[in-house]
Amino acid sequence: MKGFILAAGIGSRLKPWTDAHPKALVPVGGRPIISHVVDKMLAAGVDTIVVNVHHFASQITEYLRMAYPDADIRFSDESQLLLNHGGGLRKALRLIGHDDVLIHNADIISTLDLSAFIAEFEAQKADALLLTQHRNTQRYLLFDHDRLQGWTNVATGETRPDAMDAQPERYDFQAFAGVHIMRSSMFRALMDYAPDNVPFSIIDFYIDRCRTAQIRRMDLPQGAVWFDVGKPDTLDKARQFFDHQS
């Protein structure tokens, strides 16, 4: 299995750090956040890791080459145009090849066992497996018996597909947790979804495919710790937790 780390984000909420550094190198537990993800992928048996880069791209490439000289880490350059998560993955397929891919946001740090997540993907025989969790947000993925059926914004009432009856008694409302696996059989649909160098959301892709493909979920295990460190308040919480662990 290959890995893909989304590290191209600008990180405007983490200024002034991101005025001179990429978000993926913000320190937590005494080391850059991206190293937490790389270490977990390598420990789970991922043999090749592709990282997309944009903001201060050279800092990320130089750090990873220095920190992991023996690892097969490749870089998908989005310096000219940010492609969003879907477009970024589509571009990275030329480096990923024909293997299933574990996709992880660089700004998500957790105690999730990625080996267990991969095993669940294989056990469910899913076309894609999304890590989800119960948390308060405005945008939810809607599941029926753990299979994705759609999406809603509870603040605006918007749904995807349009006019979907997004009622809590009918669907399980789950927040996406920034980690997922896509089977290689989905790559052709991903390539056909948009032209080269067109940004698009990976969630939009999953929603548009969910009626024909098995897009399934695994809930963040009970007791697991999860942080979105792209936000200052959760970055502080992550530092408190991981500084204590190190």
Determine the pLDDT at residue 246: 58
130 confidence band (pLDDT: 50, 70, 90): very high
Q: What is the pTM of this model?
A: 0.96
Share of the chain above pLDDT 90, in %: 92
Distance CA 154, CA 146 (A): 20
Domain count, the chain: 1
Of 59, 69, 67, 15, which Cα lies nearest the Cα of 37? 67
DSSP conformation class of 197: T
Range of the domain at 177: 2-245
Of 224, 143, 138, 192, which Cα lies nearest the Cα of 130? 143
Collect all residues with Cβ–Cβ distance below 8 Å to 72 and sequence separation of at least 6: 47, 48, 49
Evaluate whether 78 touches 196 at the Cβ level (below 8 Å). Answer: no
Structure tokens, 33: 């956040």
Strand-pair partners of 128? 182, 215
Collect all residues with Cβ–Cβ distance below 8 Å to 64 and sequence separation of at least 6: 34, 38, 51, 73
Determine the pLDDT at residue 168: 78
Region of 51 on the Ramachandran plot (φ > 0 left; ψ -120 to 50 alpha; else beta)? beta
Q: What is the mean pLDDT of residues 109-132?
A: 97
Evaluate whether 87 touches 145 at the Cβ level (below 8 Å). Answer: no
Q: Which amino acid is at 187?
A: F
Q: What is the mean pLDDT of residues 33-55?
A: 98
Distance CA 116, CA 122 (A): 10
Q: What is the mean pLDDT of residues 3-24?
A: 96
Pairing of strands 31-32, 27-28: antiparallel
pLDDT in tens, 163-201: 788 887 789 999 999 999 999 999 999 999 999 999 999
Determine the pLDDT at residue 138: 92
The CATH number of residue 160's host domain is 3.90.550.10
Of how many residues is the chain composed? 246
Of 12, 38, 6, 46, which Cα lies nearest the Cα of 201? 6
Distance CA 137, CA 143 (A): 16
Evaluate whether 181 touches 103 at the Cβ level (below 8 Å). Answer: yes
